[in-house]
Amino acid sequence: VRWSEGQGWHDPSITAREPLTMDPSAAVLHYAQEIFEGLKAYRLPDGKLALFRADANARRFRESARRLAMPELPEELFIESCRALATVDREWMPTVEGGSLYLRPFMIASEAFLGVKPSAEYLYMVIASSVGAYWRGPARAVSIWASREYARAAAGGTGAAKCGGNYAASLVAQAEAIRQGCDQVVFLDAAERRWVEELGGMNIFFVFDDGSIQTPPLTGTILPGITRDSLITLARGMGLTVREELYAIDQWRADAESGRLTETFACGTAAVVTPIGTVAEAQGRFTIGGGVPGPVTTRLRDALVAIQRGTAVGPDGWMQPIA
Ligand code: PMP
């Protein structure tokens, strides 16, 4: 679907995947006016296809568009584009048990000009790829590196938007994490390098020995994850106390060492829920819950996966049938 000043949204089409033709001065190539989303379609036991909380992705896409001075795509068009692509080609049907279709809607500024101003033309597209089930059998707890050198987002910046530039800026920190022998990076706040924010592509949760759960609040520097929101709802439904509060890295270490903190996990659309077993930082490493996936992590993950696979009923509207 294209957008231009005067015409608004127009020319929707589904085509075979092929290279794009763009002018070398297209705004996106120079000023990174680009946003995207990530969501999944699942096949339910009755054979129907359903999107998981696509309305929430549509809303986040609009918020990202607003932050990047781009036109807002109507929610119906967002959902229809995902529905149309997921149903047009049935070959994606995952053969792996628990597989799903990952959908990647995105929008780029396509007007050709040199000069810093919002583009007057945009291209919105969706691509898709079939993915197998993550975490089959016992999950491996991952290790993360707390970067003190690089921050992901500062107050007033684009941290809450899903724009490519945020990820470009995070790659060097992820490379640092790998160099430190870890699987992933965890970012601290830009101002003090003290408050735990999120991973490169996942939000983070802490579980305490009194059964309560904590996750950093949406202060504008982290991505408002849809998995994060879903797990808060599910945890509260299980009677668990959930706090959205800042958590300092030094406190995290102290609580892990004293046993007050029993589990930590990350969450996002791709991997759903991933247990974190080890944290490495300037002060050295510390282990959480013996470095193995904990019971609360497993329980929340199982509850969410059951809803997504259609073997349990979730809150109204979470699974949106599309065909
Ligand atoms: N934080 C970041 C930086 C991400 O890229 C993602 C993945 N979209 C998340 C958190 C998790 O968001 P969601 O649960 O909506 O996939």
Q: Global pTM? A: 0.95
Q: Which residue in 210, 150, 159, 205 sits closest to 180, CA to CA?
A: 150
- Same domain, yes or no: 125 and 146: no
- Same domain, yes or no: 102 and 228: no
Residue 269 near ligand 1, beta carbon < 6 Å: yes
Instruction: Indicate which residue's Cα is closest to atom 2 of ligand 1.
Output: 201
Number of domains in the chain: 2
In this structure, of 68-72, 98-102, 267-271, the range with the lowest mean pLDDT score is 98-102
Instruction: Indicate which residue's Cα is closest to atom 9 of ligand 1.
Output: 202
- Same domain, yes or no: 267 and 119: no
Q: What is the Cα–Cα distance from 286 to 277, expressed in whole angstroms?
A: 9
Residue 252 within a domain: yes
Residue 314 within a domain: no
The per-residue pLDDT of the chain, averaged, comes to: 93
Residue 223 near ligand 1, beta carbon < 6 Å: yes
Could you tell me the CATH number of the domain that includes residue 173?
A: 3.20.10.10
Residue 33 has what pLDDT?
98
- Same domain, yes or no: 30 and 158: no
Residue 106 within a domain: yes
Residue 197 near ligand 1, beta carbon < 6 Å: no
Query: What ipTM was predicted for this assembly?
Result: 0.99
Residue 315 within a domain: no
Instruction: Indicate which residue's Cα is closest to atom 4 of ligand 1.
Output: 201
Instruction: Indicate which residue's Cα is closest to atom 5 of ligand 1.
Output: 201
Distance 266 CA to ligand 1 centre (A): 10
81, 99, 131 — which closes off a domain?
131
Nearest atom within ligand 1 for CA of residue 152: 3
Residue with tokens 């592509």: 201
For a mutational test of ligand 1's pocket, the pick from 203, 231, 234, i.e. the residue with the most ligand atoms closer than 8 A to its C-beta, is 203
Residue 283 pLDDT class (50, 70, 90 cuts)? confident
Per the document, the length of the chain is 323
CA atoms 154, 159, 163, 169: torsion sign? positive
Choose the most confident range, by mean pLDDT, from 82-86, 213-217, 287-291.
213-217
- Same domain, yes or no: 177 and 297: yes
Which own/partner contact pairs does 310-316 have at CB distance under 8 Å and 24+ positions apart?
310/42, 310/44, 310/45, 310/46, 310/50, 311/45, 314/234, 315/233, 315/237
Q: What is the Cα–Cα distance from 194 to 83, expressed in whole angstroms?
A: 42
pLDDT tens for 74-119 read 999 999 999 999 988 666 655 555 678 999 999 999 999 999 999 9
Residue 274 near ligand 1, beta carbon < 6 Å: no
- Same domain, yes or no: 66 and 153: no
Residue 183 near ligand 1, beta carbon < 6 Å: no
Residue 186 near ligand 1, beta carbon < 6 Å: no
- Same domain, yes or no: 241 and 302: yes
- Same domain, yes or no: 115 and 217: no
102, 131, 160 — which closes off a domain?
131
Q: Which residue has the higher pLDDT, 137 or 245?
A: 245
Q: What is the Cα–Cα distance from 318 to 56, expressed in whole angstroms?
A: 9
For a mutational test of ligand 1's pocket, the pick from 269, 304, 305, 318, i.e. the residue with the most ligand atoms closer than 8 A to its C-beta, is 269
Residue 174 near ligand 1, beta carbon < 6 Å: no
- Same domain, yes or no: 300 and 165: yes
Structural domain harbouring 119: 2-131
Average pLDDT of the residues in 7-13: 96
- Same domain, yes or no: 300 and 197: yes
Residue 206 pLDDT class (50, 70, 90 cuts)? very high
Nearest atom within ligand 1 for CA of residue 269: 16
Average pLDDT of the residues in 194-200: 97
- Same domain, yes or no: 118 and 176: no
DSSP 117: S
Residue 137 within a domain: no
CA 130 centroid distance within chain: 17
CA 118 centroid distance within chain: 26
Residue 227 near ligand 1, beta carbon < 6 Å: yes
Residue with tokens 């921050």: 151
For a mutational test of ligand 1's pocket, the pick from 223, 229, 231, 274, i.e. the residue with the most ligand atoms closer than 8 A to its C-beta, is 223
Q: What is the Cα–Cα distance from 133 to 107, expressed in whole angstroms?
A: 28
Q: Do residues 189 and 221 make contact, with C-beta atoms less than 8 angstroms apart? A: yes
Average pLDDT of the residues in 296-304: 96
Q: In whole angstroms, how far apart are CA 232 and each of 206, 237, 239, 242, 259?
A: 12, 9, 11, 7, 23
Residue 226 near ligand 1, beta carbon < 6 Å: yes
Distance 226 CA to ligand 1 centre (A): 7
In this structure, of 35-44, 94-103, 154-163, 204-213, the range with the lowest mean pLDDT score is 94-103
Would you say residue 280 has pLDDT above 70? yes
Distance 269 CA to ligand 1 centre (A): 7
Could you tell me the CATH number of the domain that includes residue 6?
A: 3.30.470.10
98, 131, 164 — which closes off a domain?
131
Residue 102 within a domain: yes
- Same domain, yes or no: 178 and 302: yes
